[in-house]
Structure 1
Amino acid sequence: MVQGCGNKCVKYFFWIINLLFFILGAVVVGLSIWMLVDKNSLATVASTVKVDLSQVLNQVNIQQLNTFLYVAIAIGGALLILGFFGCCGSCCESICAISVYFILVLILFVVEIVAIVLYFVNKTKLQQGFVTIWRDELVSKYTTQQQIHQVLDQIQSSVSFATSSQPYIIIRLFLQCCGAAGCSDYVQYGAFPTSCQCATIQQPGCATLLWTAFENNLIYVAFVGIIILFVEILAMIFSCIIIGAVREKRAQA
């Protein structure tokens, strides 16, 4: 066992935090795989906790749900692996395991820093890409997919934010926007959804407004990002402390 009260506190704190990461990762991966294999699992869980998700389940696209679950499995798997190496390394005082843990956290840290730099360097291109994706995934399907066509045609001015069950309708009514970049997105289709009110008001695009809202609240996103980076720095510092303590103990043996 490592020597010194401070080193022991760091070791046990490090072990507890990584145990929580391991449990959280296992739960996320387990639930995601269950939902991926059994499509009725979400309804089963909802009925168990007495939550009515019937309207949400009716509107969820299977492909979109699968994509979300794959992302959840990837995130949960990353937490699972980090937690495993952190717990094993601190519990068994394995320099190899803690070194792997340090390298994995360092890789995540570098990737996040690079992503932040790329965001600020390519901010304009990212905004244009977001608008393009919105136009391709929603606006273009106004004429190509009957379900989207019906959803947009059924929008009425009397539909309220609280009673609407369609995510896209909720966004449009709440933001008072239309299309991706504006009413012009629907010109080529020869008709506008009734909620756009393009005949009387030149409404801005939903994607444009959402991106603006994101940038206006970037301080909160930055705050969360700083916390994550700070936790990763602490994890690397603690792992270095434990490695140093283990080497010191072995040198004295």
Structure 2
Amino acid sequence: MGEVNKCMKYSMFIFNFLFWVCGCIILGVSIWIRVSSAQQGIDSSMFAGVNLLIAVGAIIMILGFLGCCGAVKESRCMLMLFFIALLLILILQVTGGILGAVYRSQVETAFNLTLSTSVNALQSTTGEYKEYQEEFQKFEKQFQCCGLTNGYKDWGENFNKLSSNMCQCELEKPSSDLCIRYDNRYIYKKPCGEVIMQQIKDSLIIIMGIAFGLAVVEILGLVFSMSLYCQIRRK
């Protein structure tokens, strides 16, 4: 009958505590990305990866707690459940990464379709999209952009009708890189579609970084849990 390695036992506990913390961070960052994207009026169907990370973050928190209890109580059942669940998550991550690479072009097509729908909302004069138009003007001012794909043209008749300061370039010395002159005033040159796309790419980089770091942690978790499981079994 062998003794359970105390170093391995407490290393497993510390690892799972850090694993639980990682789950909290993933959940928090994913919710922040999801909420900020929703406030920009982006179609929710384009953020399936973010929704998946929210679920993964919550599951990791539960697994971290399960692993801590399994290590402290030296429970083979808990450790095996931890190992199986962690392995399934790793497989799902790899599958999600492959699917994301395969369907990347379809995501870009869906984004362009969303922009076309949003342009129609900007040009609407019925008042149905009044709230959306007001929120989008705030977005333009905040990120120094105008329209979605074709600048001020995306607003159509609403460009001067809704506000005389729409897309107004508020710099003291407007540069040609940021502003253009139109109708005796300077307006922002960059379409907001480019800004939104850049934010999506930045969010994807964050997601990829989290997923890669998480995969390394998960592999270590599989090794730790199986090693401790084998030691408890020999005991």
TM-score, normalised by the number of residues in structure 2? 0.61
Distance 1:130 1:10 in 2: 48
What do the CA deviations read for 1:35-72 (whole angstroms, capped 9, x no partner)? xxxxxxxxxxxxxxxxxxxxx9xx899xx9xxxxx999
Aligned to 2:173: none
**2:154 alignment partner, one of 173, 186, 198:** 186
Paired with 1:24 and 1:81, the residues of 2 have a C-alpha distance of: 11
Quote the offset at 1:226 in angstroms. Answer: 1.9
Alignment of 1:239 onto 2:225:
yes
Aligned partner of 2:80 in structure 1 is: 99
Tell me if structure 2 keeps the 8 A contact 1:131–1:208.
no
2:13 maps to what in 1?
A: 15
Alpha carbons 1:139, 1:185 under 8 Å: kept? no
1:115 to 93, 96, 104: 96
* Corresponding letter in the other structure for 2:216: F
Q: Secondary structure at the match of 2:231?
A: helix
Cα distance change, pair 223–21 in 1 and its aligned pair in 2 (3 A): closer
Instruction: Describe the SS at the equivalent of 2:147.
Output: coil
Tell whether the 8 Å contact from 1:182 to 1:206 is kept in structure 2 after alignment.
no
Equivalent positions of 1:174-213 (< 5 A) are 176-179=145-148, 181-183=149-151, 186=154, 190-192=157-159, 194-195=166-167, 200=182, 205-212=191-198
Measured in 1, the distance between the counterparts of 2:146 and 2:214 equals: 34
Distance 2:221 2:105 in 1: 34
Picking from 110, 113, 132, the partner of 1:148 is 132
Match for residue 63 of structure 2? 82
Instruction: Check conservation: 1:183, 1:198, Cα contact below 8 A.
Output: no
The one-letter code of the counterpart of 2:7 is: C
Q: Is the 8 A contact 1:93 1:246 kept in 2?
A: yes
Contact 1:11-1:90 at 8 Å conserved across structures: yes
Q: Residues 183 and 205 of structure 1 are in contact (CA less than 8 Å); yes or no, is this contact kept in structure 2?
A: yes
Aligned length: 194
Tell me how far apart the structure 1 counterparts of residues 202 and 21 of structure 2 sit (CA, whole Å): 35
Bigger shift: 189-198 or 99-108? 189-198
Cα distance in 1 for residues equivalent to 2:207 and 2:52 = 20
For the aligned residues, what is the CA RMSD? 4.4
Checking the alignment, whether the CA contact within 8 Å between 1:130 and 1:207 is kept in structure 2 is no
Aligned CA distance change for structure 1 residues 214 and 97 (closer, same or farther; 3 Å): same
Change (3 A) 1:185 1:98: farther
Q: 5+ residue gaps in structure 2?
A: 28-35, 45-50, 161-165, 169-178
Offset of residue 126 of structure 1: 1.1
Distance 1:25-1:115 versus aligned 2 partners, 3 A rule = closer
Identity over aligned pairs, percent: 24
Unaligned runs of at least 5 residues, structure 1: 30-55, 65-69, 156-165
Report the Cα offset of residue 170 of structure 1: 2.1
* Cα distance in 1, alignment partners of residues 102 and 152 from structure 2: 29
SS at match of 1:195: coil
Do the aligned residues in 2 keep the contact of 1:102 with 1:239 (CA within 8 Å)? yes
